[in-house]
Amino acid sequence: MSESARSAVAEFPKLHLGTAPDSWGVWNPSGDPLQTPWGRYLDEVVEAGYQYSELGPFGYLPKDAAIVRDEYQKRGLTLTGGTVFVALHKGVAALAKAKADCDAEMAVIGPNGARHLVILPEGYTDFDGNLTASPMLSDDEWNSLTKGMSELGRYLADKHAAVLVFHSHADSHVGAQHEIERFLDGTDPETVQFCLDTGHVAYCGADSLKLIREYPDRVQYVHLKQVNPAIRARVREEKLGFAPAVRLGAMVEPPIGEPDMPSLLAALGALDRDLFCIVEQDMYPCDLDKPLPIAIRTQQYFKTCGLTSGGQLVR
């Protein structure tokens, strides 16, 4: 093997690098003039060197599975999954709504071969950082959350052959280390897996390496993201909400933030299973010309770490 061919071999052949509309400043469905149009997003994903992409907020791309298939296929892209926000701590009605929302999402991503549904908890702050609900759950609400999530995971597996990967989130009831652990300990490991978002974990003061070490079988999907520690400290001091923190630049491109990516990738690689590792850098809103250069640099950085967009994927 030549030196050039040897250098092209990924160090982590089971970790598959992708990206998401979030890295293009997309937080909302279609119609937001502050966001990158979806056609431009897909074109720039290819230009940045990625082969895998999430769907983004439901309704950002068309809700027609055939259109999504055609748009991805003509660019040589593979769809990795979709996202749904739920409020299962609110009980039975919230679980019914979550099932309906997941059905709608799966009607788009399922026919396109995606099996991962990233489930995010409802937050308790608004776009201005104001509290919209209590930051604490009662024991009854925790019980509704964990039981409801286990049931939702079983529903998705049985009806859609899909994998529920729960995403802890800043300004939600599952963000800090003890909250993530309580959630994972309280949910069915057969039906509820974990989307390790390294940025949200770090933002909330939790430890990605510890979560990988203590819950290795639950980590079934990854969002790669870094936090600016100086801005995180300011957020804590000034008691800012997550959306204002993002506007300050709380999430940054690697390797200038935390956590350390080489050690994180080593831990993920040691799990020895296929994992989508989806780059996300929250930066809503942003100038439309800002994301692409960052995406190119980020893809090139991860390539130097031995993580590439490609490789033989076992679905």
pLDDT, position 311: 57
Cα–Cα dist 170/116, whole Å: 21
pLDDT, position 1: 35
Strands of 78-79's sheet in order across:
78-79, 52-53, 15-19, 275-279, 219-224, 192-197, 163-167, 116-121, 81-86
Q: Where does the chain have alpha helices with state H?
A: 3-7, 38-47, 65-73, 92-109, 139-160, 177-186, 198-203, 208-214, 229-238, 242-248, 261-269, 291-304
Residue written as token pair 């919230």: 94
Q: Which of 140, 139, 134, 136 is nearest to 91 (CA)?
A: 140
pLDDT in tens, the chain (315 residues): 344 444 444 589 999 999 999 999 999 998 899 999 999 999 999 999 999 999 999 999 999 999 999 999 999 999 999 999 999 999 999 999 999 999 999 999 999 999 999 999 999 999 999 999 999 999 999 999 999 999 999 999 999 999 999 999 999 999 999 999 999 999 999 999 999 999 999 999 999 999 999 999 999 999 999 999 999 999 999 999 999 999 999 999 999 999 999 999 999 999 999 999 999 999 999 999 999 999 999 999 999 999 987 655 555
Q: Which of 104, 204, 195, 119 is nearest to 153 (CA)?
A: 119
pLDDT, position 5: 41
And the tokens for 194?
A: 């974990």
pLDDT, position 312: 55
The Cα diameter of the chain in Å comes to 62
DSSP state of 295: H
What's the pTM value of the predicted model, to 2 decimals? 0.95
pLDDT, position 97: 98
pLDDT, position 309: 76
pLDDT, position 30: 87
Cα–Cα dist 264/64, whole Å: 36
Classify 192 as helix, strand or coil. Answer: strand
